[in-house]
């Protein structure tokens, strides 16, 4: 029987890699980066055998020709390497991943599978900062958080609970860490409804989402320009409330929110908090510890790091 021994939630932003020299709130940025280092040490101390990374895909591995609600990478995993994130094949454990996917389907959570999955910074940012030097196999679990209709937060909680049960039923004696990558609040310059883009930039992005398969690099320069030029929109009060609920084991209450309610409270980028709900549910919503919160307009995002430890070791 395998066990989940630690959960970690961490925001991601490729601007952390490419725009560090433009940071004004240096103390906040350094506190966030230090917290990533602390979380990485907590992962190392937990002595995991494998890591499940729950994250989104920013239209580099999935496009609107086919975009499942949930997908498990069960074979080869290749990182896109955009904006200074890891690039190339990642270490995996296909047998373990396939067993998880089969168990999830049997439990009623119909995940898609990919035997050749391309991930982007929705998972590789975590690999870069939280698994640096640890050489651990990863199982990507991709949640659709950008192309409506989105899986409901309640469905994401169910996924996390079924993931925990699947890990326990998986043969072997593996120690598993679950990482949630994404959030906190932010507003991306993307159309909220891909069927109704407004303006040339949104129309371009929808074109990239529909036609990017196999050639996402062709769209990436202008896409990057659109993102870098965006006006930062962060909701610190929401972020602090969310992290306070995490610390008190109350994240289950967000399962009742709709996609529209979540976007109104935390921006369209706040839809990524579904990944935190999956992770927290997999940890049984045990009270967690916030390691850092840094509202970073330079990175367009409220950046947070937190740890959930089922052993009760808050440290």
Could you read off the pLDDT of 47-70 as tens digits, one per residue?
999 999 999 998 888 989 899 999
Question: Would you list the domain boundaries of the chain?
Answer: 3-308
Q: 96, exposed or middle or buried, with CB in 10 Å at 0-12, 13-18, 19+?
A: buried
pLDDT of residue 222: 85
Q: What is the pTM of this model?
A: 0.95
pLDDT of residue 315: 55
Please name the residues in contact with 113: beta carbons below 8 A apart, sequence gap of 6 or more: 71, 72, 73, 74, 98, 101
Could you read off the pLDDT of 232-285 as tens digits, one per residue?
899 999 999 999 999 999 999 999 999 999 999 999 999 999 999 999 999 999
Q: Indicate if the pLDDT at residue 314 is higher than 60.
A: no
Q: What's the N-to-C CA distance of the chain in angstroms?
A: 27
CATH number for the 3-308 domain, one of 3.40.50.360, 3.40.830.10, 3.40.630.10, 3.40.449.10?
3.40.830.10
Quote the CA–CA distance of 80 and 177 in Å, as a whole number: 23
pLDDT of residue 237: 98
């Amino acid at each position: 029987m395998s066990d989940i021994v630690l959960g970690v939630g961490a925001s991601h932003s490729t601007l952390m890699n490419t725009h560090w020299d433009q940071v004004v709130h240096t103390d906040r940025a350094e506190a966030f980066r230090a917290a990533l280092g602390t979380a990485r040490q907590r992962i190392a101390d937990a002595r995991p055998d494998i890591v499940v990374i729950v994250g989104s895909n920013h239209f580099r591995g999935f496009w609107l020709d086919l975009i499942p609600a949930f997908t498990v990478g069960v074979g080869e995993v290749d990182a896109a390497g955009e904006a200074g994130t890891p690039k190339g094949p990642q270490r995996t454990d296909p047998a373990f991943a396939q067993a998880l996917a089969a168990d999830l389907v049997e439990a009623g959570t119909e995940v898609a599978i990919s035997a050749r999955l391309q991930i982007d910074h929705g998972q590789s940012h975590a690999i870069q900062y939280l698994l640096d030097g640890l050489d651990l196999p990863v199982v990507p679990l991709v949640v659709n958080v950008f192309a409506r209709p989105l899986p409901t937060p309640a469905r994401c909680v169910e996924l996390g609970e079924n993931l925990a049960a699947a890990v326990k039923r998986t043969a072997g004696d593996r120690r598993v860490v679950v990482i949630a990558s994404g959030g906190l609040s932010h507003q991306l310059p993307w159309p909220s409804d891909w069927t109704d883009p407004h303006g040339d930039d949104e129309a371009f992005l929808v074109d990239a989402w529909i036609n990017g398969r196999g050639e996402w690099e062709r769209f990436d320069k202008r896409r990057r320009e659109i993102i870098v030029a965006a006006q930062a929109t962060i909701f610190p009060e929401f972020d602090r409330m969310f992290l306070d609920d995490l610390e008190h084991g109350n994240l289950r209450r967000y399962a009742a929110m709709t996609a529209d309610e979540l976007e109104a409270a935390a921006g369209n980028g706040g839809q990524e908090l579904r990944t935190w709900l999956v992770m927290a549910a997999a940890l049984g919503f045990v009270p967690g510890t916030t390691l850092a919160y840094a509202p970073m307009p330079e990175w367009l995002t409220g950046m947070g790091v937190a740890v959930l430890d089922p052993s009760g070791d808050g440290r």
